[in-house]
């Protein structure tokens, strides 16, 4: 991973979000192909929703994109140089055993933000995500929704050009889901390329710009969201939207 440095807000609003390109990417585990071969390019403004049945390879695709895993074959590239600044929010947020604000300060310290700016940036982000009241609460005693918001705030302070979210709302109640969705839109409006997986068709309808549909480890369809929901092309996507069991 490249190391981050946080630029001023203005500098990256004007720069378009970097494009992600998969070229003949295959990921194998113990000789079994789990994903691919797949080729696609994420451009446009997104947010991109990666959808598909369980085991389709959605999380794998996100992890490969975020360089948590390396492809067995093929290439994953970004427009405009090597990896852009990026962050990821997991289904179950991984928070350090320290206070909420200390979690953000740690992320800033890791990314070499000058010491004097850290606490202020952290508190700004907590405020933005409605967490000011729990800034000194240990992160791991927060509710599930608060923890996920804290994970989003941690991503926020890093000003990522790309944000990956892996099923960020699947373990949350409706109020918490609403807060996460609002946060996702804030990232999107700030110019961050958002790439997210979900099981929730309605959520995808509410938020998605384009849909990357996977099944059986292969990309079956990559279309704008409206087109996907109106007239899915592939048989698998038709079945998926109709609520049938798809392999």
Partner 1 sequence: MENNAFYVALTLLLNLDASLFQIVALSLQVSLLAVLIAALLGFPLGAAVAIWRFPGRGGMIVVLNALMGLPPVVAGLMVYLLLSRAGPLGEWGLLFTPGAMILAQVVLVLPILAALSRQKVEELLGEYREQFVSLGMSKSRMMPTLLWDARFALLTVLLAGFGRASAEVGAVMMVGGNIDGVTRVMTTSIVLETGKGNLPLALGLGMVLLTLVMVINAGAYMVSELSRRRVG
Considering the complex, state which of residue 58 and residue 222 has its C-beta at the smaller distance from partner 1.
58
- Closer residue to partner 1 (CB): 3 or 243: 3
- Measured CA to CA in angstroms, residue 79 lies from 21, 69, 82, 86 at distances of 8, 19, 8, 14
For the bound state, the minimum distance from the C-beta of residue 58 to partner 1, rounded and expressed in Å, comes to: 15
Give the nearest distance from C-beta 97 to partner 1 in angstroms: 5
Q: Which two three-digit tokens encode residue 244?
A: 């049938």
- Minimal distance in Å, beta carbon 225 to partner 1? 26
Tell me the CB-side half-sphere exposure of residue 111, using CA atoms within 13 A: 26
Q: Is there binding between residue 81 and partner 1 (CB under 8 A)?
A: no
| 106 near partner 1, rule: CB under 8 A | yes
**Least Å from the CB of residue 111 to partner 1:** 7
Nearer to partner 1 by Cβ, of 107 and 180: the residue is 107
Enumerate residues 6+ apart whose C-beta is below 8 A from 202: none
- Residue 95 Cβ, how far from partner 1 at the closest point, in Å? 8
**Taking the CB of residue 165, how many other CB atoms lie within 10 A of it?**
28
Among 68, 133, 182, 227, binds partner 1 (CB under 8 A): 68
| 90 part of the interface to partner 1, by CB under 8 A | yes
Instruction: Examine residue 227 and tell whether it contacts partner 1 (CB under 8 A).
Output: no
- 143 in contact with partner 1 (CB under 8 A): no
Work out how close the CB of 129 gets to partner 1 at its nearest, in angstroms, rounded to a whole number: 18
Give the Cα separation of 153 and 177 in Å (integer): 15
> In this chain, which stretch among 65-73, 167-175, 193-201, 209-217 interacts with partner 1, using CB under 8 A?
65-73
- The site for partner 1 (CB under 8 A) is made up of 1-4, 63, 66-68, 87-88, 90, 94, 96-98, 106-107, 110-111, 138-141, 158
């Amino acid at each position: 991973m490249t190391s981050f440095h946080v630029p001023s807000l203005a500098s990256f609003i004007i720069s378009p979000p970097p494009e992600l390109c998969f070229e003949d990417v295959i990921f194998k585990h113990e000789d079994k192909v789990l994903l691919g071969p797949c080729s696609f390019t994420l451009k446009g403004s997104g947010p991109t929703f990666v959808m598909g049945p369980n085991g389709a390879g959605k999380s794998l695709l996100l992890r490969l994109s975020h360089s948590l895993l390396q492809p067995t074959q093929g290439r994953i590239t970004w427009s405009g140089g090597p990896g852009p600044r990026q962050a990821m929010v997991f289904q179950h947020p991984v928070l350090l055993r320290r206070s909420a604000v200390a979690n953000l300060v740690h992320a800033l310290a890791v990314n070499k933000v000058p010491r004097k700016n850290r606490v202020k940036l952290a508190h700004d982000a907590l405020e933005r995500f409605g967490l000011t009241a729990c800034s000194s609460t240990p992160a791991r005693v927060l509710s599930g929704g608060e923890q996920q918001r804290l994970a989003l705030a941690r991503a926020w302070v890093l000003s990522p050009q790309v944000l990956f979210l892996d099923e960020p709302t699947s373990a949350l109640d409706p109020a918490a889901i609403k807060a996460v969705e609002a946060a996702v839109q804030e990232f999107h409006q700030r110019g961050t390329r958002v790439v997210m997986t979900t099981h929730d068709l309605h959520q995808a309808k509410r938020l998605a710009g384009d849909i990357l549909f996977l099944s059986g480890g292969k990309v079956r369809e990559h279309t704008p969201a409206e087109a996907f929901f109106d007239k899915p092309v592939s048989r698998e996507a038709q079945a998926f939207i109709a609520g049938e069991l798809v392999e």
